[in-house]
Chain A
């Protein structure tokens, strides 16, 4: 389906609307020239339906606002999803709404079929960003063909959200070392956390850590959750070093390597000209590294 492009108008007539208008005009012509009051009845119904559909279309969009915008992980050059919560504060329900970001990014495949009165509904919108970094989301556009698909009506809603787009991740299928050597990356090694080596120590549980590594005896005694850290025989502690002026390509490579290493269970850290993230594992570490890389070069 083609995404409708609006200029100044808030309403755009669709093909079905043109057909309906044509039929109405034809009926009107026949009624005036024949003086047949039965045709006038049909014409009155057609016009009333047209007028009320416009009013209902307006009412359908009224009282809608963005409650919040959330997202999980969005990577550049990769389709991602933003979750938008839309609140309907009027006493009438809203039907068949599409949410989009004018004009390039839109998703007409995730409609909101129904929002009851005085309630809210969430919708996941497919997005695609070409560059990493912080993106402002000041407004969200609501589109609706409701009720009869004669027109597209749109409404601009204030969002006031910012979205951090992580660098593009390249899929690394082979060995990381080979990839690093091939890409001339920087590597310094130390002890690395693993699963099969000697016991390294305990650390607090972080969201994303595997459950089988929780030290349950300690939890029973103290109540808090701890993770057992082991030295992996093959793995080492890795700190990735990247300059503030690094090219986009290098940032993408660094992010990809970090993700791959973290997937393999390595302790990965990041050092930039301004920041230093000590080596660690888990999802939070991954997000921390990606966030730093996403903001690299931005003030």
Chain B
């Protein structure tokens, strides 16, 4: 007969690991795990659905089916097979052996879920699993070794208390173990990234309005940490560069087909001065595009492949999280020393020429076309006459509608600015990417979210592509609650310190430790401190001895309490009266029992709890 307490703890443990795995294999994993609920319900009622033969048959069949599935998706197959086996075991007949099997399967489910997870939540799953799992192990050990005995609630509570202390120690000890466990620079098999999410509006063809799909998505794409003391208030992340506009859609026609080139670090540093250095923590995504702080001249690690003309990076190593360091040059595009195909960057649709000309006329462009004055005029005109809103209905003629309604968002502002520049004979292009002002003060980094998707303009002047962002900055765009900032910082730490912890980080820690140890060894205590140390040691010894004399036995503590209590009730100990003599003055068996137990506790070594109980009883009775 298996105790209900064991079932309870076992199923709690199983639930934690199953939630962890089904969370990763959502939604199909949930359907596979549903029979487990039925199995638990039946088990509580001491019933089962499958006998041993059926369980074996279904297990073999399922194993073969998942083996076929594993050819294409090996990691998913392992996860689904585990859920399936747990479901079968939950529905089948069970004894202590089967419960142990369920426990082992639950552990494998937790291990399997580590393939699919990358978030901080996993740590919570593991912590809860350790707590619940160790308690289950303890109960297994008790019931397995004490045949015929049952666990009463007093022992159960004591074991629970023990497990709480024990698991706290386990968590503390596991931290140094995590640091010192050996790690290899060569990894034989790496689990693929299982994050299936893409961001709309960064392809080679973008309809105006497409980017607005991202404005309500809070998901973090990357966290960018500046490694220098000065950094801009607003950070721009480049996504794609588009040159041709047909009135509704921006296209990338320039530099197609792609030319991939492996870039060397030295090559970049030679050409450009560094204006900033950024460390980018990328949240895993299923994308080949690596969004980049503009304008990068060197990207580390150096095995990244960079698209030559504007710095889009691809083929970064697949994994749970990618970490790169970017050396940013001054606001200029490194890859364009000479402008080819100038016409592409000056063309505007015929139907819009008149409209743009009329705006330019209203604006009043000076005869001396100084690019700085033009830039300021365009910026001022757009910011003063147009209102920023994300609630714009889709339109067949977005530019004209923007001019008519005088409201729109970044794509509308940037498109109009690009058209105005082109009409004035200045080559320009649309850049889509992200603009963030969300600064985390705790981690000192920018947070780039999907909702920070943005479009702006780049114009060509004196051999450089320069940025012009005509969209007004939104008030409150960088606001996040303090708690959210803390949480985000915690995730940042998780990504940087835990997920990306590798052998290099280990070596750094070891070297730092060695250095500190060396300093400690080499440290010589000045001779003048010796007398002080001797004095302090003596003082500690004397104080220890002094306080030891006043240490009261716990039983005496209760007797003192009892004495005070009785004094309040009007019964005082006479001078020289022993507790036994005091108790004999009363005919109350409770007091006599208390004194008797006191003597036993004080001199006989029995448990103090009994004395405590009696004292509380006396307090209640009198």
A114 interface residue per 8 A CB criterion: yes
Q: B122 at the A/B interface (Cβ < 8 Å)?
A: yes
Does A230 sit within 8 A of B, measured CB to CB?
no
Contact B184 A118 (CB under 8 A): no
Quick one: closest B residue to A145, CB to CB?
B145
Contact with B along A136-153 (1 / 0, CB 8 A): 000000000111110000
Are A45 and B174 in contact, CB atoms less than 8 angstroms apart? yes
Closest B residue to A143 using CB positions: B145
Q: What's the nearest-Cβ distance from chain B to residue A65, in Å?
A: 11
**Among A47, A49, A56, residue most surrounded by chain B Cβ atoms (within 10 Å):** A49
Return the contact of A38 from the options B117, B148, B189, B608 (Cβ within 8 A). Answer: B117
Contact A49 B155, beta carbon cutoff 8 Å = no
Complex contact B146–A49 (CB within 8 A):
no
B181: contacting residue among A38, A43, A56, CB under 8 A = A43
Q: How far is the CA of A47 from the CA of B169 in the complex (A)?
A: 12
Task: Knowing A42-B126, A43-B181, A149-B140 are in contact, say whether A114-B155 is a contact too (CB < 8 A).
Answer: yes
B134 within 8 A of partner (CB):
yes
B478 contacts chain A at the CB level, 8 A cutoff: no
Q: Is there a chain A Cβ closer than 8 Å to B114's Cβ?
A: yes
B96-126 with Cβ < 8 A to chain A: 104, 107, 110-111, 114-115, 117-118, 122-123, 126
Q: A41-B123, A96-B146 are in contact. Are A33 and B174 (CB under 8 A)?
A: no
Residue pairs across A and B with CB atoms within 8 Å: the count is 141
Stretch at the interface among B234-242, B276-284, B498-506, B525-533: B498-506
Can you name the residue of chain B whose Cβ is closest to the Cβ of A117? Answer: B607
Confirm or deny: B149 has a beta carbon within 8 angstroms of a beta carbon on chain A.
yes
Interface size for A (C-beta < 8 A) is: 47
Given A38-B122, A45-B170, A47-B177, A95:B140 Cβ within 8 A: no
A40 B178 Cβ-Cβ under 8 A: yes
Contact status of A38 and B155, CB under 8 A, knowing A48-B177, A96-B142: no
CB closest residue in chain A, given B161: A93
- Min CB distance B306 to A, Å, is 25
Chain B residue contacts of A39, Cβ below 8 A = 111, 114
Interface pair B187/A34, CB less than 8 Å apart: yes
A180 beta carbon closer than 8 Å to chain B: no
A1/B147 in contact, CB under 8 A:
yes
Verify if B578 is at the interface (C-beta below 8 Å from A).
no
Known A-B contacts A33-B189, A37-B498, A49-B170; the reply to A96 vs B607 at CB < 8 A is: no
Partner of A48, one of B145, B170, B190, B499: B170
B residues within 8 A CB of A116? 607, 609
Given A42-B110, A116-B607, A148–B174 Cβ distance below 8 Å? no
Within 8 Å CB of A109, what residues of B?
Answer: 147-148
A170 within 8 A of B: no
Closest chain B CB from A114 CB (angstroms): 6
Q: Which of A24-32, A218-226, A245-253, A276-284 contacts B (4 or more CB under 8 A)?
A: A24-32
Do the beta carbons of A44 and B177 come within 8 Å of each other?
A: yes
B173 touches A52 (CB 8 A): yes
Give bound CA distance, A237 to B184, whole Å. 92
Within 8 A of A (CB), among B410-428: none
Does A265 have its Cβ within 8 Å of any Cβ on chain B? no
Q: Is B41 an interface residue (CB 8 A)?
A: no
Known: A33-B187, A147-B138. A42 touches B146 (CB 8 A): no
Interface presence of A51 (CB below 8 A): yes
CB of B538 within 8 Å of the partner chain: no
Are A45 and B126 CB-contacts (below 8 A) given A19-B104, A32-B183?
Answer: yes
Q: Which of A146-176 contact B (CB under 8 A)?
A: 146-149
B182 contacts the other chain (CB 8 A): yes
* A149 and B181 in contact, given A35-B187, A35-B502, A37-B501 (Cβ under 8 angstroms): no
Pick from B158, B171, B173: contact of A93, CB below 8 A.
Answer: B158
- Max chain B Cβ within 10 angstroms of own Cβ: one of A36, A52, A98, A119: A36
Distance from A98 Cβ to chain B, minimum over Cβ atoms (Å): 8
Q: Which of B477-503 contact A (CB under 8 A)?
A: 498-502
Q: Which residues of A have CB within 8 Å of B171?
A: 45, 48
Known contacts A36-B114, A41-B126, A116-B607; is-contact A52 B189 (Cβ 8 Å) = no
Partner of B188, one of A27, A33, A47, A111: A33
Query: Which residues of A are found within 8 Å of B130, using beta-carbon distances?
Result: 45, 49
Across-interface contacts of B169 in A (CB, < 8 A): 48, 52
Residues of A contacting B499 in the complex (Cβ-Cβ under 8 angstroms): 37-38
Q: Residue A87 at the B interface, CB < 8 A?
A: yes
A120 on the interface (CB 8 Å rule)? yes
For residue A33, which residue of chain B has the nearest CB? B188
Which residues of chain A from 248 to 292 have a CB within 8 Å of any chain B CB? none
B191 adjacent to chain A (CB < 8 Å): yes
Interface centre among B142, B149, B159, B171 (most CB of A within 10 A): B142
Please tell me if A202 contacts chain B, counting CB pairs below 8 Å: no
B178's partner among A30, A32, A41, A145 (CB-CB below 8 A) is A41
Chain A residues whose CB sits within 8 angstroms of the CB of B175 once the complex forms: 44
Beta-carbon nearest neighbor of B123 in chain A: A41
**A residues less than 8 Å from B178 (CB atoms):** 40-41, 44
Would you call B605 an interface residue if the criterion is a C-beta within 8 Å of the partner chain's C-beta atoms?
A: yes
Q: Does A211 contact B (CB under 8 A)?
A: no
In the bound complex, how far is the Cα of B130 from the Cα of A33, in angstroms?
Answer: 24
CB of B162 within 8 Å of the partner chain = yes
B605–A118 touching, CB < 8 Å: yes
**A5 contacts the other chain (CB 8 A):** no
Is the CB of B166 closer than 8 A to any CB of chain A?
yes
Partner of A49, one of B134, B500, B608: B134
1/0 contact trace for B164-205 toward A, CB 8 Å?
A: 001001110111011001111001111100000000000000
A87 proximity list for chain B (CB < 8 A): 605
In the complex, 9 of the A-B residue pairs with CB atoms within 8 angstroms, ordered by the A residue number, are A16-B144, A28-B181, A33-B189, A37-B499, A41-B174, A109-B148, A111-B145, A111-B146, A116-B609
Given contacts A87-B605, A95-B158, 16 further A-B contacts (CB under 8 A): A16-B140, A33-B187, A34-B187, A35-B183, A35-B184, A36-B320, A37-B498, A40-B183, A42-B111, A43-B177, A96-B142, A111-B149, A114-B155, A118-B608, A148-B141, A149-B140
Closest 9 CB pairs of A and B: A149-B141, A38-B114, A48-B173, A44-B174, A44-B178, A35-B187, A48-B174, A44-B177, A119-B607
